[in-house]
Chains A and B, each alone.
Chain A
C-alpha cells in the first residue's frame, strides 16, 4: 500500500467528518471549542465565514454534518448536536457589526445582477460586496429571503432572526429592487451588467392530477399555501386536513395547519417509514404535536359531494421489503376538509428566452457546469435550487460561494475554471509532557435534548418559536461531546522505535503495525478489522527497524491523544488541522507545516 498523502488537504479534511460533509465546509470543531470557551461572537463569525446564515441554519439546517459525525459511529452514541450548538453561538453573540467585512467605498466598476433574494443570491452579494462590486438584486416579492421567508414557518425560524442576517448583507450597500419579477432575461442582459446570477429557486409546487382536482378550492399546493400563510393571505384551515407526501414540506404544512385551526391532521405516505424523505427530527417534532402519519396509502381521487370536498380515496398498499412492488389490500375513503399537496417542486424558467445561448436539458433545467456554475452563455451563472432542482439552504450558500468565485474571475478576465486551491496548516497541540492545548478527554455524556415550548402554549400564536435553544449547562455538556476531530494524529515514521505503546493504549483499537500489503488485505488484518470502508486507512512509510507499516483506521479515533502521549519518541503528535477554504477574492494560501 502506498503511504497516505497527508500533505494533500483532503486527507486530514476527510477525518473531520462533519466539516467534510458540510457543503460549505464549516469548521465545526473549532466553532464548538469557541462556544465552550464562551467566545460566542468569534464562533458566530467563524460560522459566518463559511455558511453566511448561522442564526438561520442553527435552527433550520438540513445538517448533513450530523449523520456524518464520528460520535454517531461510537457504540450506542448519537452525533453531536452540531446544528443547535450553532444556534447557541448566534443567540449569545451580541453585536458583531464591527467584525463584519468592510465594504470599500471606492467600487471596482463592475455591476452584477442577481435574480431572486434567496440564500443563493444573498451569498453571492455577501462575497462580492467586500470586493468592490455593485450588486443589484431583483426580487419578485416585497420582502427578501426566498423560501426561508415564504416557506419555512416562523415557529421554526422567527422573522427577526432571518432579517438580522439578511440585513448584514443588504447593509453592505446592496441595491435591492422589491416587487420586481424579472420577466425577460433578454431585457436583463440588455441592462449591461458584467455578470448575471440566477438564484430564482425552484418555485413551482408539483400538482396531483386526480379526479376531482379541479372541482374544489380546498386543495392547495404546499409551497404556495405556506407562502400565502407567510404573507398573511391565509389565516385559517378546516379541522380535518390531509397532507399528501411525507417530505420536509409536508412536515411544515401539517404543523402550520395545527396553528390555523386544524384539529385532525393526517400526513399520508405511500410507502413505509424507512423510505420517508423527511428528516427524522422533523418527523419527531410533527408527531410530538399530535400529527398522525399514515403509511402505505396511495391517493386515488378527491371525493367531492355537492361541489364540496368531503374526503379523499386511497388504495391501502402492502409493499415488498425494498418497497419496490406493492399490492392493493383495499380502497378506503378518509374524510377531510382540506388537502395540501406536498409532493415536490419543479423548476420553471418561463422568463428566460430560448434564443440567448442558454441551453436547457430535457427536464427544463439550464445546463450548468458543476464546478463553475456558469451556464452555456458566458457571464450568466446559476445557483441554489435554480441550478439542479430543490436542495436546501446550506447547498444554496455553497453554490453562491462558488458562483461568486466564478463571477470574480469572469470580471477580472481570469478563466472561470481557474479555482483557487484549498490551503492547509498543521499546528502541534503539545504543551508539555502529557499536556495538550485542547481538551483531550472523552466525555461520555449523552446528546442533549432540545427543550420545546409546552404543547398548549405553542399553538397560541403562529409565530411562537417552538425550540427554546440550549441553556448554558446543556451547551457546556454538548460542546464537550465533540471529539475534536480536527486535532489530527500526525505520524513521522523515521522516529518510531516500534515499541507498541501507541497500539496498546488506543482505546478504540485504531492502530496496527503490519507488513506491507494491498490495502484490502491490510484492512482485514488490523487490530480490529475495518468495518467502515468509507473511512481512510492511514499507512506510514516503512518503519526503520522492521520495515513494517504503521496503519491507522481513521473510522473511530476519538482524538484522545493517548497514542501521542505514550509515544516515547513523539513519532505521533496531535496537531490542529486547519483547511483554508477559498472564497471569492481570497489569495491562494498554501502554508504547509506538516511534520
Chain B
C-alpha cells in the first residue's frame, strides 16, 4: 500500500475533454497491486482512453472477476458503476448488465486465469453473443493473486520463479477468439501505452465485443529469467504487425482519410481506425489471414489490431430488443403480466 493517497494537486496545464474533465477525474482509488505490476500501467491506459473519448464517468460500467487484474477496476474512474463478480463470471454478469442497460459503456477487465481457466466457457459465449463491450485480458502467464501458479496462457518451456518448467500447451486468447468468431481482436503490451491507448479507444468504439489481450508482466512472480512474460522477454520478442491510430467521429480528418484510401476500418459510430502500416497481403478483415500470420510468427509476441469486422450485429441487434434500454422501459411494458403470458402460452398449445 502506498503511504499516501495520490495528492489531488495536478499540473495546471492538464487538458480538459469534451465533458470538461481532466484525466485526473478518471482516476480511481490507490492501487494495492505490487509496485511495477503491468496491470497498473494498463489501468493508466484505460483511464486515458476513457478520458480521451470523453465518456462521462456515470455512463461507464466496470466489470471484473477475481485476480489481481480483476481488482483493477477499482483503480480507474471512481465515478463509474462497477461489478466485481465471482471468479471467471465477469462475461456472464456483463451480459446481464448489458442486456438490462445497453446505454452504458462496458469495460471488462479480466486475467488469463480468470478468462482462460475457470471462466473460459463464459468468455467463449460472450464472444459468440458479440456483447458490446471492451474485454481486456491482462495476461501475465500466472495466477498472480494466488502467488504465481502457471495459468493456461503460460508457454511451453517457460520457467516458474522456483525453476519448474511448464509442459502444457497454452491457450492463446487471440487465436481462441479468432477461431470462434470474435469480431475485434487485438494484442498489446502494458509497457507501450503509445500503442495500447489508441487500440483501447478503437475497441471501445467497436460494434460488438472487442477482445484486447495485453501482455502485462507480473513483477513479483513472473519477471525472472526463463519467463516468457517478463518485461525484458516481451520487449525482445515484440512484433508490431499492424500500426494504427484511432480517429474519432466528426473530425474533418475522417473524410480526408477516406479520400486517401489505404487500409481503414470505419466503425459503427463513424469513427475510423486508420492503419498506417499493415504487412504485405494482410487484410484486417480476413480472419484466416490473421490466424495464419500469427502462426507464422510463433516465437514472437505479435501485437496491433489484428482483426476487425464491423458488419456483425451485437447482442441487442441480434435479438431485436427495443431501442430504449430495457432498464428504462416502464415496468408494465417490460413485464406485460400473467394474463398476457397465459395467452402466449396458450398460443403454443
Please measure, in the bound complex, the distance between the C-alpha atom of A507 and the C-alpha atom of B223, giving whole angstroms.
27
Assess whether A505 is interfacial by the CB under 8 Å rule.
yes
CB distance from B283 to the nearest CB of A (A): 31
Residue contact B35 to A568, C-beta cutoff 8 Å: yes
CB distance from A421 to the nearest CB of B (A): 36
Residue contact A500 to B4, C-beta cutoff 8 Å: no
Per a CB cutoff under 8 Å, which of B12, B38, B43 touches A74? B12
Residue contact B10 to A500, C-beta cutoff 8 Å: no
Assess whether B95 is interfacial by the CB under 8 Å rule.
no
Which partner residue on chain B sits nearest A503 by CB separation? B44
Number of A interface residues in the complex (CB < 8 A)? 35
- Most B CB contacts (10 A, CB to CB) among A435, A497, A531, A546 go to A497
Q: Which residues of B contact A561 (CB under 8 A)?
A: 3
Which partner residue on chain B sits nearest A504 by CB separation? B44
Please measure, in the bound complex, the distance between the C-alpha atom of A423 and the C-alpha atom of B296, giving whole angstroms.
60
Counting chain B residues whose Cβ lies within 8 A of the other chain, the interface size class is 20 to 34
Per a CB cutoff under 8 Å, which of A442, A546, A569 touches B7? A442
Per a CB cutoff under 8 Å, which of A74, A436, A500 touches B44? A500
Residue contact A529 to B13, C-beta cutoff 8 Å: yes
Residue contact B219 to A568, C-beta cutoff 8 Å: yes
Which partner residue on chain A sits nearest B234 by CB separation? A545
Q: Which residues of B contact A434 (CB under 8 A)?
A: 1-3
Please measure, in the bound complex, the distance between the C-alpha atom of A522 and the C-alpha atom of B4, giving whole angstroms.
30
Q: Which residues of A contact B40 (CB under 8 A)?
A: 500-501, 504, 566
Residue contact A500 to B223, C-beta cutoff 8 Å: no
Please measure, in the bound complex, the distance between the C-alpha atom of A566 and the C-alpha atom of B35, giving whole angstroms.
4
Residue contact B35 to A528, C-beta cutoff 8 Å: no
CB distance from A528 to the nearest CB of B (A): 5
Q: Which residues of B contact A500 (CB under 8 A)?
A: 40-41, 44, 190-191, 193
Please measure, in the bound complex, the distance between the C-alpha atom of A321 and the C-alpha atom of B40, giving whole angstroms.
51
Which partner residue on chain A sits nearest B7 by CB separation? A442
Residue contact A531 to B3, C-beta cutoff 8 Å: no
Instruction: Given A499-B38, A545-B235, A561-B3, answer yes or no on A556-B44 (Cβ-Cβ < 8 Å).
Output: no
Assess whether B341 is interfacial by the CB under 8 Å rule.
no
Please measure, in the bound complex, the distance between the C-alpha atom of A375 and the C-alpha atom of B232, giving whole angstroms.
63
Residue contact A531 to B231, C-beta cutoff 8 Å: no
Residue contact B41 to A556, C-beta cutoff 8 Å: no
CB distance from B215 to the nearest CB of A (A): 12
Which partner residue on chain A sits nearest B48 by CB separation? A504
Per a CB cutoff under 8 Å, which of A442, A531, A566 touches B36? A566
Please measure, in the bound complex, the distance between the C-alpha atom of A568 and the C-alpha atom of B6, giving whole angstroms.
17
Please measure, in the bound complex, the distance between the C-alpha atom of A497 and the C-alpha atom of B190, giving whole angstroms.
12
Per a CB cutoff under 8 Å, which of A440, A501, A504, A508 touches B9? A508
A70-86 interface code vs B (CB 8 A; 1 in, 0 out)? 00001100000000000
Assess whether B217 is interfacial by the CB under 8 Å rule.
yes
Residue contact B13 to A499, C-beta cutoff 8 Å: no
Assess whether A62 is interfacial by the CB under 8 Å rule.
no
Instruction: Given A75-B10, A545-B235, answer yes or no on A565-B191 (Cβ-Cβ < 8 Å).
Output: no
Residue contact A567 to B232, C-beta cutoff 8 Å: no
Please measure, in the bound complex, the distance between the C-alpha atom of A529 and the C-alpha atom of B11, giving whole angstroms.
10
Assess whether A479 is interfacial by the CB under 8 Å rule.
no
Instruction: Given A498-B191, A500-B193, A501-B41, answer yes or no on A565-B9 (Cβ-Cβ < 8 Å).
Output: no
Which chain A residues in 555-595 approach chain B with CB under 8 Å? 556, 558, 560-562, 565-569
Residue contact A568 to B34, C-beta cutoff 8 Å: yes
Assess whether A376 is interfacial by the CB under 8 Å rule.
no
Assess whether A444 is interfacial by the CB under 8 Å rule.
yes
Which partner residue on chain B sits nearest A546 by CB separation? B235
Which chain B residues in 158-197 approach chain A with CB under 8 Å? 190-191, 193
Residue contact A75 to B12, C-beta cutoff 8 Å: yes
CB distance from B42 to the nearest CB of A (A): 10
Which partner residue on chain B sits nearest A567 by CB separation? B35
Assess whether B349 is interfacial by the CB under 8 Å rule.
no
Which partner residue on chain A sits nearest B235 by CB separation? A545
CB distance from B234 to the nearest CB of A (A): 10
Assess whether B346 is interfacial by the CB under 8 Å rule.
no
Assess whether B340 is interfacial by the CB under 8 Å rule.
no
Please measure, in the bound complex, the distance between the C-alpha atom of A435 and the C-alpha atom of B35, giving whole angstroms.
14
Residue contact B231 to A565, C-beta cutoff 8 Å: no
Which partner residue on chain B sits nearest A569 by CB separation? B36
Could you show 15 A-B contacts with beta carbons less than 8 Å apart? Answer: A75-B12, A440-B4, A499-B191, A500-B191, A507-B8, A507-B24, A509-B14, A545-B232, A545-B235, A546-B235, A562-B6, A566-B2, A566-B35, A567-B35, A568-B219
| The 5 nearest A-B residue pairs measured at CB | A568-B36, A442-B7, A504-B44, A500-B41, A75-B12
Given known contacts A503-B44, A560-B4, A562-B6, what 10 new A-B pairs fall within 8 Å (CB)? A75-B9, A444-B8, A499-B38, A500-B41, A500-B193, A504-B40, A507-B8, A508-B10, A528-B14, A531-B13
Using a CB–CB cutoff of 8 Å, the interface residues on chain A facing chain B are 74-75, 434-436, 440-442, 444, 497-501, 503-505, 507-509, 528-529, 531, 545-546, 556, 558, 560-562, 565-569
Using a CB–CB cutoff of 8 Å, the interface residues on chain B facing chain A are 1-4, 6-14, 24, 34-38, 40-41, 43-44, 190-191, 193, 217, 219, 223, 231-232, 235
